[in-house]
Amino acid sequence: MRHGLLREGRARFWQNIIPPRAAGEVARTAPADSFEGAPHEALAAASPGETPALEREKGATAPRMGKSAATPRRKPNVLITGTPGTGKSSLAERVAAAVEGFKRIDVSQLAKEQDMLEEFDEELDTHVIDEDKVLDHMEEHGLGGDAGGVVVDYHGCDLFPERWFDLVVVLTCDNAVLYDRLQRRGYSEKKIRGNVECEIFQTLVEEAKDSYDESIVKVCASDTIEDMEENEKAVAEFVEAWKSPLA
């Protein structure tokens, strides 16, 4: 039942984000209805990259995907977020490999490599990143310009400027599947429980919807290999379909 409801909601998302093509326009592949394998036919006739998440004004030339489209880009930027263990790194790696010219920023790894960590939080059993340093670095290395073409993965999303992203993917996971994944990572029982509780209460979903225009927030199940493959395909197709006002 859970997946059925998600499929229905995700189909509506893609139908809203890409308008019907103009009469006579050649159909191309467009983002999937759902990241869980729903039929692609409804979007096959979409006009690539036109994204009227907010209804476009007649004659407008720039894509309008909510507020984030205030910064025109040649390629879209994508944020992949979710509770630890939901598959963010795997999806980001797959998208970066699948789309030519795309690069990935793993925020946690960046903070470690560039010495941007603050104290170790004993309660959360994790290092705290220096957000100011991380954001300055990201601004200077791909997120601040008009080139785009960056996929970012991190277990939080409210620290980033809204203008940076054109699509925000929130991965979700069945609680039992998530528990097993975190246990295999060697997490303590307390840390596992805290993360599973975050997933139960959909903390990252709410954070994303509070931080970005809901029209660009996409909630996707990530329980199985098939889910991951569908997620990769849909994000890659969204990127490839992007029509830039700067082209």
Could you tell me which residues are beta bridge partners of residue 81? 154, 170
Domain total for the chain?
1
Residues 220-247 have pLDDT tens digits of 999 999 999 999 999 999 998 997 777 6
Asked if residue 20 belongs to a domain, the reply is: yes
Nearest to 65 by CA among 136, 134, 16, 119: 16
pLDDT reported for residue 246: 73
Q: Look at the block and give the residue holding tokens 């759902």.
A: 34
Q: How far is 186 from 184, CA to CA, in rounded Å?
A: 5
Asked if residue 246 belongs to a domain, the reply is: no
For residue 78, the SS3 value is strand
Structural domain for 98, as ranges:
2-240
Domain with residue 218: its CATH number is: 3.40.50.300
pLDDT reported for residue 247: 60
Question: What tokens does 112 get?
Answer: 């470690």
Name the packing angle between helices 88-98 and 225-240 (round to 10°).
Answer: 40
User: pTM of the entire structure?
Assistant: 0.73
Asked if residue 247 belongs to a domain, the reply is: no
pLDDT reported for residue 74: 92
Asked if residue 245 belongs to a domain, the reply is: no
Residues of the chain with pLDDT under 70: 1-71, 247
Nearest to 181 by CA among 80, 89, 78: 89
Q: How far is 64 from 48, CA to CA, in rounded Å?
A: 13
Amino acid identity of residue 64, one-letter, is R
Asked if residue 145 belongs to a domain, the reply is: yes
Asked if residue 144 belongs to a domain, the reply is: yes
Asked if residue 119 belongs to a domain, the reply is: yes
Q: How far is 103 from 85, CA to CA, in rounded Å?
A: 22
Q: How far is 41 from 144, CA to CA, in rounded Å?
A: 36
Q: How far is 240 from 43, CA to CA, in rounded Å?
A: 14
Amino acid identity of residue 222, one-letter, is S
The helix (run of H) or strand (run of E) holding residue 151 is strand 150-154
